[in-house]
């Protein structure tokens, strides 16, 4: 046991070692996000992250109404392949599939596994709007946001456990209440803001990728303006995992001049209207 004299707080050796191990891990697991050059802490090996993503993707598709309608699938895969080429990540085996649901959503899993819901087609309107959506999702995969969130969860568990252990002399009820308060504070003060920062980073990376793929980045601004009109019942930004659509639109205006330079250096991609999804 390591202790300070005169009644000062005692530190148990396992706690000291836990902090030391956490510090060593943090120092050896630093990565850099593409394009933004933001420092990242990722404890999960990329190969493990890719394998987990592929497994989760198979499970999601097995339980979902996957669309095989060429009219719907073709534009998603065509735009997705352009974005993936711009991403230039040869380690990833990119896949782009369509889920036939009215939900206005899309997602990406580690290793380049992307799915788009047909419910987002009316908001995207055309292949340029779709490029903004796919660019955002590819941005998540490229920046390894899933691995970063998993690492964050592991460290948060360690911190909360150490905090709980430090209350060893308290009653179980008191420890439980304090543990819950710490968890809620971490959620609002760190986890949600971190999630919003990842979403903003994916917006920025996606804007650059769509421009490099030949799509006018102005289309992304129109997309988020339509989302703002569509999603009026969302929670306050403080309690949300995503930035408010109005915030995203402001960010787009700030980033578009840079993205325009990439767009000017490419051959413009054809822009075509998206099909209207059939009612289920």
Q: Where are the domains of the chain?
A: 32-264
In the predicted structure, residue 278 carries a pLDDT above the cut 80: no
Q: Mean pLDDT over residues 160-172, rounded?
A: 58
In the predicted structure, residue 161 carries a pLDDT above the cut 90: no
Give the per-residue pLDDT at 141. 97
Q: Mean pLDDT over residues 95-109, rounded?
A: 96
pLDDT band for position 228 (cuts 50, 70, 90): confident
Q: Mean pLDDT over residues 21-49, rounded?
A: 80
Task: Report the candidate in 55, 53, 35 with the shortest Cα–Cα distance to residue 91.
Answer: 53
Which one has a higher pLDDT value, 60 or 153?
A: 60
In the predicted structure, residue 14 carries a pLDDT above the cut 90: no
Q: Which of 81, 103, 137, 272 is catalytic?
A: 137
HSE-up of 152 (CA within 13 Å, CB side)?
A: 16
Give the per-residue pLDDT at 30. 80
In the predicted structure, residue 232 carries a pLDDT above the cut 80: no
Tokens of 96: 């782009």
Give the per-residue pLDDT at 66. 97
The DSSP secondary structure of the chain, one letter per residue, reads: -EE-STTPPEE-HHHHHHHHHHHHHHHHSEEE-TTT--EEE--S-HHHHHHHHHHHHHHHHHTS-B---HHHHHHHHHHHHHHHHHHT-TT---EEEEE--SS--EEEETTTEEEEEGGGHHHH-BHHHHHHHHHHHHHHHHTTHHHHHHHHHHHHHHHHHHHHHTTTTS-HHHHHHHHHHHHHHHIIIIIHHHHHHHHHHHHHHHHHHHHHTT--THHHHHHHHHHHHH-TTPPPGGG-SS--HHHHHHHHHHHHHHHHHHHHTSPPPP--BPPPPPP-
Give the per-residue pLDDT at 158. 63
Q: Mean pLDDT over residues 19-44, rounded?
A: 75
Give the per-residue pLDDT at 240. 77
Give the per-residue pLDDT at 54. 97
As a whole number of angstroms, the distance between CA 136 and CA 180 comes to 34
**Residue 137 designated active-site:** yes
């Amino acid at each position: 046991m390591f202790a300070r004299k005169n009644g000062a707080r005692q530190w148990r050796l396992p706690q000291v070692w836990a902090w030391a191990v956490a510090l060593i891990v943090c120092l050896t697991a630093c990565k850099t996000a593409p394009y933004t050059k933001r420092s990242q802490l990722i404890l999960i090996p990329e190969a493990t992250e890719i394998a987990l993503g592929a497994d989760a993707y198979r499970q999601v598709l097995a339980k979902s109404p996957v669309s095989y309608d060429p009219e719907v699938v073709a534009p998603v895969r065509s735009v997705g392949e352009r974005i993936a080429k711009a991403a230039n990540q040869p380690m990833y085996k990119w896949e782009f599939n369509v889920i036939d649901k009215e939900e206005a959503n899309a997602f990406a899993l580690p290793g380049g596994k992307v799915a788009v819901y047909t419910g987002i087609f009316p908001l995207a309107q055309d292949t340029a709007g779709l490029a903004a959506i796919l660019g955002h999702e590819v941005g998540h995969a490229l920046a390894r946001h899933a691995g970063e969130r998993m690492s964050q969860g592991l460290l948060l568990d360690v911190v909360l456990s150490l905090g709980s252990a430090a209350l060893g002399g308290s009653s179980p009820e008191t420890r439980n209440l304090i543990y819950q308060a710490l968890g809620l504070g971490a959620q609002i003060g760190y986890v949600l803001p971190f999630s919003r920062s990842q979403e903003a980073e994916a917006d920025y990376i996606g804007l650059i990728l769509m421009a490099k793929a030949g799509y006018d980045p102005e289309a992304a601004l129109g997309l988020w303006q339509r989302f703002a009109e569509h999603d009026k019942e969302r929670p306050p930004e403080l309690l949300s995992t995503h930035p408010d659509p109005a915030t995203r639109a402001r960010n787009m205006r700030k980033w578009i001049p840079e993205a325009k330079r990439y767009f000017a250096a490419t051959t413009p991609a054809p822009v075509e209207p998206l099909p209207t999804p059939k009612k289920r």
